[in-house]
């Protein structure tokens, strides 16, 4: 085992970087997978291939922009609502339509209400959120939106109850139900819940991002579990390698050795940029 690790150690120096995707896909799926508290890999894929990946400390708009800029704009993007994604989407892919994963929307409401709510309002809201997974026509969607609005009116007095905590702060008594309802109303106002029912779409759009959850994230977690014990850097590289080998046109092994950067080359680039920024900050510029 030690002999094998010694002979293959040079290949761990390589960083397989994502290609620039020029061909446009009809539907793409985006999601982030956390490898540690401060290590997240953002991934974009279509029905057949992984199109791009980007490592960051957490999900934010700048990281999403860096991922999306190397991929041609699709018709529809399916997302679970990662932090900062909508801001990056409007900036990089302004013409692409957004479809929020309905299963994640239901899961968000379930976290607030639990599976067995103790109030009538909670039971009704949980049922409304569960019905979201069974909508297949525009008429059903309009009726579902009306149910959400009527729920808010019907339990207005109940939701307006307040309580005083230990610090003397006045806050809503049913705060979790209010947050669950606000999450649904916010998505309704953004018009991103029922994009898959839009008749003007020229492609078939799913309502969930099961493709990336089961086809990519689940495979990555299985790989990391089978090879548990790696450092965080090697876990990131392992994910990079898996994504690269499932990209549309991966290079041959000989080309990978020639083209892909190594730890040393990336370190040299970083030090060069650092020195340039340090000199620009210290030497006055004339003219």
- Is 268 domain-assigned? no
Residue pair 129/105 in contact by the 8 Å Cβ criterion: yes
- 161 and 123 within one domain: yes
- 93 and 41 within one domain: yes
> Can you give the C-alpha Rg of the chain in angstroms?
24
Global pTM reads 0.87
- 106 and 187 within one domain: yes
- Is 193 domain-assigned? yes
- Is 281 domain-assigned? no
Rounded mean pLDDT of 198-219?
Answer: 91
Cβ count within 10 A of residue 230: 14
Cβ count within 10 A of residue 100: 23
- 253 and 243 within one domain: yes
Cβ count within 10 A of residue 96: 17
Give the whole-angstrom CA distance, residue 122 versus residue 115: 10
- 171 and 108 within one domain: yes
- 123 and 165 within one domain: yes
pLDDT digits over 122-154, tens only? 999 999 999 999 999 999 999 999 999 999 999
Of 158, 173, 198, the last residue of a domain is 198
Give the whole-angstrom CA distance, residue 44 versus residue 10: 28
Residue pair 89/98 in contact by the 8 Å Cβ criterion: yes
Residue 269: what pLDDT? 86
Residue pair 97/131 in contact by the 8 Å Cβ criterion: no
Rounded mean pLDDT of 10-22?
Answer: 89
| CA neighbor of 50 nearest in space, from 186, 220, 171 | 220
Q: Which residue has the tokens 């806050």?
A: 171
- Is 6 domain-assigned? no
Give strand pairing partners of 33: 41
Enclosing domain of residue 142: 102-198
Which DSSP string do the residues of 126-161 spell out, in sequence order? HHHHHHGGG--SHHHHHHHHHHHHHHHHHTHHHHT-
- 192 and 54 within one domain: no
Q: DSSP secondary-structure letter at 57?
A: S
- 125 and 44 within one domain: no
Residue 5: what pLDDT? 85
- 174 and 113 within one domain: yes
- Is 60 domain-assigned? yes
Of 165, 198, 231, the last residue of a domain is 198
**Token duo for residue 286:** 């004339």
CATH of the domain at 69: 3.30.420
- 192 and 118 within one domain: yes
Residue 287: what pLDDT? 43
- 88 and 22 within one domain: yes
Number of domains observed in the structure of the chain: 2
Residue pair 42/56 in contact by the 8 Å Cβ criterion: yes
- 159 and 116 within one domain: yes
Q: Which residue has the tokens 């793409």?
A: 28
- Is 269 domain-assigned? no
Residue 284: what pLDDT? 58
- Is 287 domain-assigned? no
pLDDT digits over 87-97, tens only? 999 999 999 99
């Amino acid at each position: 085992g030690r002999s094998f690790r010694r002979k293959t150690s040079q290949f761990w120096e390589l960083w397989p970087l994502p290609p620039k995707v020029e061909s446009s896909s009809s539907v793409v799926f985006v999601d982030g997978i956390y490898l540690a508290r401060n290590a997240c890999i953002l991934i974009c894929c279509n029905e057949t291939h992984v199109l791009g990946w980007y490592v960051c400390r957490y999900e934010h708009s700048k990281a999403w922009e860096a991922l999306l800029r190397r991929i041609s704009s699709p018709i529809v993007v399916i997302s679970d609502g990662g932090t900062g994604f909508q801001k990056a989407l409007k900036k990089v892919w302004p013409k692409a339509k957004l479809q929020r994963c309905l299963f994640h929307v239901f899961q968000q409401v379930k976290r607030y209400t639990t599976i067995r709510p103790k109030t009538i309002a909670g039971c009704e809201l949980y049922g409304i959120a569960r019905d979201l997974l069974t909508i297949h026509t525009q008429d059903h969607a309009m009726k579902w939106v009306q149910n959400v609005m009527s729920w808010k009116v019907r339990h207005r007095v109940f939701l307006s109850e307040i309580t005083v905590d230990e610090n003397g702060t006045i806050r809503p008594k049913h705060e979790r139900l209010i947050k669950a309802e606000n999450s649904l109303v916010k998505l309704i106002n953004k018009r991103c819940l029922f994009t898959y029912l839009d008749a003007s779409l020229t492609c078939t759009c799913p309502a969930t991002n099961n493709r990336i959850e089961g086809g990519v994230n689940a495979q990555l977690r299985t790989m990391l579990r089978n090879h548990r014990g790696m450092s965080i850097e090697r876990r990131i590289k392992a994910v990079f390698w898996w994504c690269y080998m499932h990209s549309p046109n991966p290079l041959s092994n000989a080309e990978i050795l020639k083209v892909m950067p190594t730890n040393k080359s990336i370190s040299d680039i970083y030090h060069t940029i650092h020195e340039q920024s340090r000199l620009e900050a210290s030497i006055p510029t004339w003219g």
